[in-house]
A and B are shown apart, each in its own frame.
Chain A
């Protein structure tokens, strides 16, 4: 199986843009879609991005996703940072054997 590696934390000021990476340790990042979840303290995760770059209805367009085959990683970009974006963010993918994998999570804090 593979591991999805995320930075432990990212910090940026409100109004700025932050990017969170998710690197796949084996196999191609492009092989299986990547999803991103937001988890606020004390709450269940909610999906923010699916299939690499798709936003569910209701998710602001400040959130965007992408993949980069050269670095074998996916990224979640949050622009125009707001206080309410302070949360933990998890990437998630799956393999051909129907096993699902979550990244280690990234805590986004405000400077």
Chain B
């Protein structure tokens, strides 16, 4: 049974750096074919894919935010971390981490509950 859970600050000031952690169980991010991604959803708006990291440390980012995002993994802790620099109020959103279907990499088959991050001074 795969489960994921996001954690991080609920309130961040503009220009600061946001760090979110995804803690998961039921799989190992070091196993071939595994990957975890981050998706966000501003209040009342659509889902937006942000970043993803593969078991072999290959990393992918949405082009519009690539310069501000860093995704890393800690295999020993079963965690994936997303860092977003220079946040702005428009980055206010619920941030989800999700497991990408093993090997096929087409769909996000397991999602965390999400964590709401508000960017405000």
Q: Which stretch from A18-26, A43-51, A66-74, A75-83 is at the chain B interface? A: A43-51
Quote the shortest CB–CB distance from A105 to chain B (angstroms): 4
* Chain B residue, CB-CB nearest to A106: B46
Chain B CB within 10 A, most for which of A32, A47, A103: A47
| A47 contact set on B, CB distance < 8 A | 107-109
Q: How far is the CA of A45 from the CA of B106 in the complex (A)?
A: 15
Quote the shortest CB–CB distance from B63 to chain A (angstroms): 7
Total A-B residue contacts, Cβ distance less than 8 Å: 61
Residues of A within 8 A of B (CB): 1, 32-33, 35, 37, 39, 44-47, 50-51, 56, 90, 92, 94, 97-105
Contact mask for chain B residues 19-55; partner A; CB cutoff 8 A; 1 contact, 0 none: 0000000000000000001010000011111001000
Residues of B within 8 A of A (CB): 37, 39, 45-49, 52, 58, 60, 62-63, 96, 101, 105-109, 111-114
CB pair A33–B106 under 8 Å, yes or no, is: yes
Q: Knowing A1-B63, A46-B111, say if A94 contacts B47 (CB, 8 Å).
A: no
| B109 contact set on A, CB distance < 8 A | 47, 50, 56
| A102 contact set on B, CB distance < 8 A | 39, 46-49
Q: Knowing A45-B47, A90-B46, A104-B46, say if A99 contacts B106 (CB, 8 Å).
A: no
**Which 9 A-B pairs give the minimum distances between C-beta atoms?**
A44-B111, A100-B49, A102-B47, A35-B107, A105-B46, A50-B107, A104-B46, A98-B60, A33-B106
Q: How far is the CA of A32 from the CA of B106 in the complex (A)?
A: 8
B105 touches which of A39, A45, A92, A98 (Cβ 8 Å): A98
Q: How far is the CA of A47 from the CA of B63 in the complex (A)?
A: 25
Q: Given contacts A35-B106, A47-B108, could you give 13 more A-B pairs where the C-beta distance is less than 8 Å?
A: A37-B108, A44-B112, A44-B114, A45-B108, A50-B106, A50-B109, A90-B47, A99-B62, A99-B63, A100-B52, A102-B39, A102-B47, A104-B46
